[in-house]
Structure 1
Amino acid sequence: MARSATLIRSATAVALAAVVAASAGCTAGKDDPLAGTDLASAPRNGVRDGGTLRWAVDAAPGTLNAFQAGANETTSLVAGAALPAAFRLDGQGRPQMDTDLLRSAKVVRTEPQQVVSYRLNPKAVWSDGRPIGAADFTAQWKALRGADDAYWTARNAGYDRISSVTAGKDAHEVKVTFGKRYADWQSLFTPLYPKAVTGTAKAFNEGARRALKVTGGPFSVRSASGKSVTLVRNTKWWGDRAKLSELVLTATPAHQRAADLASGALDVAEVDRDVTGKNVAVYRTRAASYTQLALNGSTGPLADEDVRHAVARAVDRRAIAKAVLGPLGLPDEPLGNHLLLLTQSGYADHSSALGTADTKAARAMLAAAGWQRTALDPGSGGAARSGAGAAERNQAAPAHKVEVSVVEPAKTVLRKDGKALTLRFVLPKSSATLNTVGDRIATMLSGIGVRTELQRVADDSFFRDHVAAGDFDLALYGWPGTPFPATDTRPIFAKPEPAPDGSLVVEQNYPRVGTDLIDQLFDQAAGELDPAKARDYAARADARIWSAAGSIPLYQRPELVALRKDVLNAGAFGFATPRFQDIGFRK
Structure 2
Amino acid sequence: MSRWWLVVVFTATIALVAGCGVDLAGGGSSSSTQPQMNFQPRDKLRDGGSLTTAIVEVSPQWNTFHADGTAYTLALWRWYNPSLAFFAPDGTYSFNRDYLTDVRTELINGNTQVTYTINPKAVYNDGTPIDWRAFENTWRINRGTDANYVISASDGYDRIASVTPGRDARQAIVRFNGVWAWPNGLFNILVHPKVDTPDLFNKAYLQAPHNEWGAGPYVVKSYDRNAGVVVFERNPKWWGQPGKLDRRVFRQMEDQAAINAFSNGEIDAIGVGSKDNRARVLTMSNVDIRTSATPQQSLLVVNLDTPVLRDIRVREALLRGIDRATLARIRFTGLNYSEPLPGSLSLYAFQPGYEDNVSASITYDQAKARALLDQAGWTPGDDGIRRRGGAALEVSLPILGDSPAITNIVRALQAMLAQIGVKVDIVVRPSSDFSKVIINKEFDLFMMGFASSDPYGMAYFCQVWCKGSQLNKAGAGSRELDAEIARVATIADPAEQIKAGNIVERKAFAQYSDLPLFNGPQMVAVKHGLANYGAGLFYIGPVENIGWEK
TM-score by length of structure 2 reads: 0.80
**Structure 1 position 219 matched with structure 2 position 218:** yes
CA distance in 1, matches of 2:265, 2:534: 17
SS in 2 for 1:548: coil
- Residues 133/302 of structure 1: CA separation in 2 closer, same or farther (3 Å cut): closer
1:61–1:71 contact (8 Å) kept in structure 2 = yes
* Residue in structure 1 matched with residue 397 of structure 2 by the alignment: 426
1:492–1:508 contact (8 Å) kept in structure 2 = yes
CA distance in 1, matches of 2:315, 2:72: 37
1:288–1:480 contact (8 Å) kept in structure 2 = yes
- Residues 144/516 of structure 1: CA separation in 2 closer, same or farther (3 Å cut): closer
SS in 1 for 2:315: helix
SS in 2 for 1:352: coil
Partner AA of 2:217 in structure 1: P
2:321–2:364 contact (8 Å) kept in structure 1 = yes
CA distance in 1, matches of 2:438, 2:59: 25
Unaligned runs of 5+ in 1: 381-407, 496-504
CA distance in 2, matches of 1:525, 1:86: 28
1:426–1:462 contact (8 Å) kept in structure 2 = no
1:83–1:216 contact (8 Å) kept in structure 2 = yes
TM-superposed deviation, 1:124: 4.4
Summarize deviations over 1:22-56 as a string: whole Å, max 9, x none.
49x99979xx7532643233343322222232233
SS in 2 for 1:140: helix
* Residue in structure 1 matched with residue 451 of structure 2 by the alignment: 480
Summarize deviations over 1:267-324 as a string: whole Å, max 9, x none.
2344562342124333344544322223445666654434433443332212211220
Partner AA of 1:185 in structure 2: P
Summarize deviations over 1:222-251 as a string: whole Å, max 9, x none.
444434333333456555543223323333
1:427–1:438 contact (8 Å) kept in structure 2 = no
SS in 1 for 2:332: helix
Partner AA of 1:233 in structure 2: R
Partner AA of 1:291 in structure 2: S
**Structure 1 position 323 matched with structure 2 position 286:** no
* Residue in structure 2 matched with residue 534 of structure 1 by the alignment: 497
* Residue in structure 2 matched with residue 19 of structure 1 by the alignment: 10
**Structure 1 position 443 matched with structure 2 position 418:** no
CA distance in 2, matches of 1:362, 1:538: 28
2:52–2:267 contact (8 Å) kept in structure 1 = yes
* Residue in structure 2 matched with residue 493 of structure 1 by the alignment: 465
1:6-155 equivalent positions in 2, closer than 5 A: 6=3, 14=7, 17-22=8-13, 33-35=31-33, 37-60=35-58, 62=60, 64-68=62-66, 71-92=69-90, 95-109=93-107, 111=109, 113-121=111-119, 124-126=122-124, 132-146=130-144, 155=153
CA distance in 1, matches of 2:41, 2:268: 19
TM-superposed deviation, 1:59: 3.6
Summarize deviations over 1:440-494 as a string: whole Å, max 9, x none.
23333444x424243425357787569954762x443333345444554524322
* Residue in structure 2 matched with residue 332 of structure 1 by the alignment: 339
Summarize deviations over 1:78-99 as a string: whole Å, max 9, x none.
4323333343344355654444
* Residue in structure 2 matched with residue 388 of structure 1 by the alignment: none
Q: Which shows bigger deviation, 435-444 or 548-557?
A: 435-444
CA distance in 2, matches of 1:510, 1:152: 15
1:114–1:181 contact (8 Å) kept in structure 2 = yes
- Residues 112/421 of structure 1: CA separation in 2 closer, same or farther (3 Å cut): same
**Structure 1 position 563 matched with structure 2 position 519:** no
- Residues 304/93 of structure 1: CA separation in 2 closer, same or farther (3 Å cut): farther
SS in 2 for 1:177: strand
1:66–1:79 contact (8 Å) kept in structure 2 = yes
- Residues 84/302 of structure 1: CA separation in 2 closer, same or farther (3 Å cut): closer
* Residue in structure 1 matched with residue 165 of structure 2 by the alignment: 167
1:86–1:189 contact (8 Å) kept in structure 2 = yes
SS in 1 for 2:482: helix
SS in 2 for 1:356: coil
CA distance in 1, matches of 2:393, 2:525: 42
* Residue in structure 2 matched with residue 390 of structure 1 by the alignment: none
* Residue in structure 1 matched with residue 186 of structure 2 by the alignment: 188
* Residue in structure 2 matched with residue 498 of structure 1 by the alignment: none
- Residues 266/191 of structure 1: CA separation in 2 closer, same or farther (3 Å cut): same
Unaligned runs of 5+ in 2: 15-24
1:429–1:457 contact (8 Å) kept in structure 2 = yes
TM-superposed deviation, 1:584: 0.9
- Residues 333/88 of structure 1: CA separation in 2 closer, same or farther (3 Å cut): same
1:60–1:225 contact (8 Å) kept in structure 2 = no
* Residue in structure 1 matched with residue 262 of structure 2 by the alignment: 261
SS in 2 for 1:88: strand
* Residue in structure 1 matched with residue 18 of structure 2 by the alignment: none
- Residues 522/322 of structure 1: CA separation in 2 closer, same or farther (3 Å cut): same
* Residue in structure 1 matched with residue 209 of structure 2 by the alignment: 210
- Residues 78/361 of structure 1: CA separation in 2 closer, same or farther (3 Å cut): closer
C-alpha root-mean-square deviation of aligned residues, in Å?
4.0
CA distance in 1, matches of 2:51, 2:320: 48
* Residue in structure 2 matched with residue 231 of structure 1 by the alignment: 232
TM-superposed deviation, 1:553: 0.9
CA distance in 1, matches of 2:77, 2:167: 29
1:42–1:569 contact (8 Å) kept in structure 2 = yes
CA distance in 2, matches of 1:347, 1:465: 31
CA distance in 2, matches of 1:573, 1:48: 22
- Residues 435/74 of structure 1: CA separation in 2 closer, same or farther (3 Å cut): closer
Within the candidate set 542, 545, 548, 1:582 is matched to 545
Partner AA of 1:479 in structure 2: F
Partner AA of 1:494 in structure 2: C
CA distance in 2, matches of 1:414, 1:27: 35
Summarize deviations over 1:86-113 as a string: whole Å, max 9, x none.
4334435565444443344344235464
- Residues 563/462 of structure 1: CA separation in 2 closer, same or farther (3 Å cut): closer
* Residue in structure 1 matched with residue 514 of structure 2 by the alignment: 551
**Structure 1 position 514 matched with structure 2 position 477:** yes
2:11–2:26 contact (8 Å) kept in structure 1 = no
1:486–1:522 contact (8 Å) kept in structure 2 = no
CA distance in 2, matches of 1:229, 1:346: 40
Runs of at least 4 residues off by over 6 Å: 25-29, 200-203, 370-374, 417-421, 460-463
Identity rate, percent: 25
Count of aligned residue pairs for this structure pair: 527
CA distance in 1, matches of 2:251, 2:523: 18
2:153–2:469 contact (8 Å) kept in structure 1 = no
1:296–1:512 contact (8 Å) kept in structure 2 = yes
Summarize deviations over 1:361-386 as a string: whole Å, max 9, x none.
5455556x376987x63xx4xxxxxx
TM-superposed deviation, 1:539: 1.0
1:288–1:557 contact (8 Å) kept in structure 2 = no
**Structure 1 position 282 matched with structure 2 position 289:** yes
Partner AA of 2:326 in structure 1: A
- Residues 65/316 of structure 1: CA separation in 2 closer, same or farther (3 Å cut): closer
TM-score by length of structure 1 reads: 0.75
CA distance in 2, matches of 1:26, 1:527: 33
* Residue in structure 1 matched with residue 359 of structure 2 by the alignment: 352
TM-superposed deviation, 1:114: 3.7
Partner AA of 1:219 in structure 2: Y
SS in 2 for 1:519: helix
TM-superposed deviation, 1:531: 0.8
1:5–1:89 contact (8 Å) kept in structure 2 = no
SS in 2 for 1:354: coil
From the CA coordinates, give the structure whose radius of gyration is larger.
1
Q: Which shows bigger deviation, 292-301 or 457-466?
A: 457-466
1:290–1:555 contact (8 Å) kept in structure 2 = yes
CA distance in 1, matches of 2:480, 2:218: 46
Partner AA of 1:454 in structure 2: D
* Residue in structure 2 matched with residue 385 of structure 1 by the alignment: none
Summarize deviations over 1:316-369 as a string: whole Å, max 9, x none.
2122112202422333332111222345454322223125323445455556x3
2:68–2:439 contact (8 Å) kept in structure 1 = no
